[in-house]
Structure 1
Amino acid sequence: MSHGANNEIGLKANIAWNTIGSVFYQGCLWLMTVLVVRLSSDYQNSGSLAFAMSIGNIYTALGTYTVRTFQVSDVKNTYSASNYVGLRVVTVLGALLGCGAYGLAVSPSFTTRAAVVTFLLFKADESFVNVLYGCDQKGMRLDYVGKSQIIRGFLVVSLFVVGMEVTRNLALSIILIAIGCILVTLLYDLRKTNGLTDSLKPKISKEKALYLLRKLFPTVLGNFLAGLVTSAARQYFAIAFGEEALGIYASVATPCVIVQVLAQNLYTPMLGPIATLRANGDNRGARRKSIGLLLTVIGVALGLSIPLVLFSGAILGALYGETILPYLDVLPPALLVTTGVASIYVVTDLLIVYDKLRKTLTVNVIAFVVMASLLVPLTSLCYMNGLNLTLLIAYLSGTLYGLWVLLRSS
C-alpha cells in the first residue's frame, strides 16, 4: 500500500517531470559521446565507448527484466514493492555475470574490454534504480524520477570530463560516473521511494521469483533481441569496417537517441491508466488510447527529426568539427531508425499491458531475423547507410506485426 497516495501529483506534471528528467539524462549520456571525441586524440575511444554502450543495451534488457512495465500494470498489487526489489537484485547480478563474460569475449581490444566492464557497473546501478522508479510511477510521483535523472545527468558529464582530463583513461572515467550514480541511488532515490511504500527491503520467495522469471521470460528475451538488433549490427560493423568507422557512425547517429527518449517518455506515464481501463473491462477505451499513444510517439519522433535534419551541418560541425561533415548523409536515415526503435518499444510495452507477453517475443524475433538477413548485403552495398536501412526495415517489420496483434485484441 502506498504511503504517498495523498501526495500524488497530476498526470500532466508526471508526464512533464518524466520527460524532462529522461531527456536531460539521455542528453547527458549523448553528450558523453561528444566529449569522448573532444577529449581524445582520435576516434578510438569513441568507438570503444560506442561498443560498450551496445553491450550495455543488452544488459539493460536482462538487468531490468522488463519488470517496470509489469510492475506498473500490477494495479491490484499482487506483488509488493519488496518482491519487485528482490527480483531486481537477482536479475541485476545475473545479467552482470552473463553480459560481462559476453563483453569480454567479443570486445576487439583491451581498451574496449575495460570500457565494457566499467560501463556494465554503471548500467547495473541504472538498472537497479529503475525498479524504484516503478514504485514512484505507481505512486504518481514521477517528479522524484525526474529530479533523480537530472542529478545523474550533471554527474555523468562533470565526472566524465574530470576523469578524462585527469587520467586520460576511458575506463577510469566511467568508474567515476558509476560511483557518483550509486551515491545518488543510496542518498536520494532510496529515501524518496521509501516514503511511498511499506518496505523496500528485498524480499521474494523462491516460488514467486521463479514464477515471475518464467512469466516475463518471453518479453525479456524479446527485449534482449530488440537491443541485440542494434547492438549486434553495430558490433558487426565495427568488426567489418573498424572501430573508428563505428565511432564516426555513432558520433553522427547518437544525437537521435534524444528524439527517441523524448518520444518514448511521453507515453510511459499513460501505461498505468491504460492498465486500469483494461482491469475495469473498458477494452475499447484501452485500445483507443493505445493506438493514440503509438501515433503520438511516431508523430513526435518525426516532428523532432525535421529541425535536426535542417540544421545537421551546423549542429554536428559545432560538436565534432569539420571532420564529421562528410558523413552528414547518415543522419536523416538514422532519425528514421530512431522512430522505428521508439515505435517497437511502445508496441512491446502495450503488449505487456495487454498480457500478451509471448507476442512481445514474436515482435522482436521478426526484427532480429530481418536484421540478420539484411545486414551483410546492405552494409556492403551502402556502408553506414546500409546499417541504417537494415535497422529501419527490421524495426518497422516488428512494429507492424505488434500493431496487428493489438488491433485484434479484445
Structure 2
Amino acid sequence: MQQNKPIALRHNFYWTFVGNLVYSGCQWGMLVVLAKLGSPAMVGQFTLGLAVTAPIVMLTNLQLRNIQSTDARNHYLFSDYLGLRLMMTGLALPTIVGITLATGYRGETALVIILIGLGKAIESISDVFYGLLQQHEQMDRMALSVMMKGLLSLLMLSMGIYISGSVLWGVVGLVIAWAFVLFIWDIPSCQWLINKCTSEGEIADSLKGMTLRPRWQLKTVRNLIWLALPLGLVMMLISLNANIPRYFLEKYLGTRELGVFAALAYLIVAGNMVVSALGGAARPRLAKYYAAGNVTKYQKLLLQLVGIGCLLGLASILVAYVAGQEILSIVYQPEYAKYADILIWLMVTAGIGYISSFLGEGMTAARYFRVQIPLFVIVTSICAIASFWLIPTNGLVGAAIVMMIAEIVRIILTLGVIFHALQIFRRHKQSI
C-alpha cells in the first residue's frame, strides 16, 4: 500500500527551521518585552513560573511525540497517544498547583506559576497532534502552527503587560493564544492529513480507520506508559538539569538576578533553533536507518549533525566575545551590558549543548530509552552538587559553569550508549 508522500528532508528542515526561528524569536521577544516594559524582577517571576512547571510537564508528557515520530512499524494508533496525553495532562495540573502551594509561593507569583502550567497543558495537547504530522513528515503544517502560536503569544503577552503593567495578565494572554491555535489550526490540520490521504487513495497503515478521538484501552495504555515512561523521566531530568541552577539563583540571589541570568541565557536561542529544527527533521530518518540496520548512513548523518553543532558553537562564542556588550545593551537595557562576560560563558556552554543535543537525537532514534534514565540521573546529580558548590559563592558565573559541566558529562555518557548500540549491530552482522 502506498504511503502518503512525505516532504523531502531538506524541505522539512527548512519548514521546521523557519517555524522554530519565528517561535523562538517570539519567545525571546517575550523576555525583551518584560525587560523593556517591566524589570529584571518581572523577568525573574516569569522565568520562575517556567522553571517550576517545566519538570512536571516534561514528566507527564512522556515525550510521546518522539515515540510517535519514530514509530516506523505503527505499533500504536494516534488515538492511543492522544488518550494517554489527555490522561497525563489531567494529572499534571493538580500536581503543579500542589507543588506551588507547598513550596510557599503566594499571591501573584503563585497565580503566574499555575497559569503557566495551564498554558503548558494546552501546549502538550498540541504536541501530540504535531507527532502525527511529524510521523508522516508533514513539517509544513506543524511549522505554520508553531509560527502562529509564537506570534500570537508575543502579541497577547505584550498587550497584557502594556495595559496592566503586570506579568500576570500577560500570562493570561499566553493561555488564550495557545488554546486558540490548538482548536483553530492543530486539530483541523490532522483532520486535513487524514482526509487528504483518503481522497487520494494513498492511505498509510498508520492512518487506516483513524479518528481524532482519544482511546483508553487498559492494556494499550499500560504498554505505552511502560515504553514512554523512561523518556518522560529523562526529559524531567533534563528539565531539572536546566532549571536547578535557576532554583539556586532564586534562593541565594533573588528574582532580579534570576531574571538577568534568564535573559542572557535566552540568547542561546539562535543556535537552538537550528539544532531543534535539524534534529527534529533528521530524527525520523535516523530512526529508519537504524531500524533497517544501515549503520553507515546512520553514522554519516549523525556525524554531519555533530559537525554543524561544533560550527554553531564556535560562531556563538565569537559573536559574544566581539559584540556581547552592545547586543545586551540594545536588546534589553544598558544595565544588562555589564554581564557580557557571563554571556561568553553561556555561549561556550551552548556550543557544548548543541553537540550533546544532536547525540541525544541519535540515541533516541535508536530507541535506547531506558538507559537514558541512569544517564540523566548522573547528569542531574552532578548538576545539583555543582550548583550547591559553585552558585552561592560565584553567582551567575557559577551557574554558567554548572551548566557547562553538566553538558560535558552528558556528551561522554551519550557517546558511550551510541558506541554500544553500534557495536551490537556489528556483532549481529558478523554472526549472520
TM range (shorter): over 0.9
Range with bigger deviation, 106-115 or 27-36: 106-115
Give the aligned partner of residue 113 of structure 1. 110
Partner amino acid, structure 1, of 2:21:
V
Tell me the SS of whatever aligns to 2:390. Answer: helix
**C-alpha displacement of 1:305:** 4.2
Range with bigger deviation, 242-251 or 108-117: 108-117
Partner amino acid, structure 2, of 1:124:
A
Give the aligned partner of residue 24 of structure 1. 22
Distance 1:185 1:143 in 2: 16
Range with bigger deviation, 280-289 or 16-25: 280-289
Give runs of aligned pairs for residues 334-373 of structure 1, distance below 5 A.
Answer: 334-373=346-385
Distance 2:45 2:283 in 1: 36
Partner amino acid, structure 1, of 2:214:
P
Range with bigger deviation, 289-298 or 143-152: 289-298
Give the TM-score, by structure 2 length: 0.89
Give the aligned partner of residue 204 of structure 2. none
Distance 1:50 1:310 in 2: 28
Range with bigger deviation, 219-228 or 108-117: 108-117
**C-alpha displacement of 1:311:** 1.9
Give the aligned partner of residue 148 of structure 1. 145
Tell me the SS of whatever aligns to 2:44. Answer: helix
Give the aligned partner of residue 83 of structure 2. 86
Which one has the largest radius of gyration?
Answer: 2
Tell me the SS of whatever aligns to 1:75. Answer: coil
**C-alpha displacement of 1:75:** 0.6
User: Is 1:377 the equivalent of 2:389?
Assistant: yes
Partner amino acid, structure 2, of 1:29:
Q
User: Is 1:278 the equivalent of 2:275?
Assistant: no
Asked if 2 retains the 8 angstrom alpha-carbon contact of 1:63 and 1:96, the reply is: no
Asked if 2 retains the 8 angstrom alpha-carbon contact of 1:336 and 1:392, the reply is: yes
Q: 1:18 to 1:248 in 2, by over 3 A?
A: same
> What count of residue pairs does the alignment treat as equivalent?
407
Give the aligned partner of residue 241 of structure 2. 229
Give the aligned partner of residue 266 of structure 2. 254
Give the aligned partner of residue 5 of structure 1. 4
**Structure 2 residue ranges without an equivalent (≥5):** 195-209, 426-432
Aligned residues with identical type, % of pairs = 21
User: Is 1:48 the equivalent of 2:64?
Assistant: no
2:329 to 295, 298, 317: 317
Q: CA RMSD in A?
A: 2.0
Distance 2:368 2:407 in 1: 19
Give the aligned partner of residue 160 of structure 1. 157
Distance 1:66 1:212 in 2: 11
Asked if 1 retains the 8 angstrom alpha-carbon contact of 2:7 and 2:137, the reply is: yes
Give the TM-score, by structure 1 length: 0.93
User: Is 1:245 the equivalent of 2:252?
Assistant: no
Asked if 1 retains the 8 angstrom alpha-carbon contact of 2:244 and 2:383, the reply is: no
Partner amino acid, structure 2, of 1:339:
G
User: Is 1:133 the equivalent of 2:145?
Assistant: no
Distance 2:157 2:363 in 1: 38
Partner amino acid, structure 2, of 1:353:
A
Partner amino acid, structure 1, of 2:173:
L
Asked if 2 retains the 8 angstrom alpha-carbon contact of 1:266 and 1:297, the reply is: no
Q: 1:111 to 1:310 in 2, by over 3 A?
A: farther
Q: 1:153 to 1:325 in 2, by over 3 A?
A: same
Partner amino acid, structure 2, of 1:79:
Y
Asked if 2 retains the 8 angstrom alpha-carbon contact of 1:62 and 1:92, the reply is: no
Asked if 2 retains the 8 angstrom alpha-carbon contact of 1:69 and 1:349, the reply is: no
Give the aligned partner of residue 124 of structure 1. 121
Distance 1:91 1:346 in 2: 28
Range with bigger deviation, 99-108 or 328-337: 99-108
Asked if 2 retains the 8 angstrom alpha-carbon contact of 1:108 and 1:239, the reply is: no
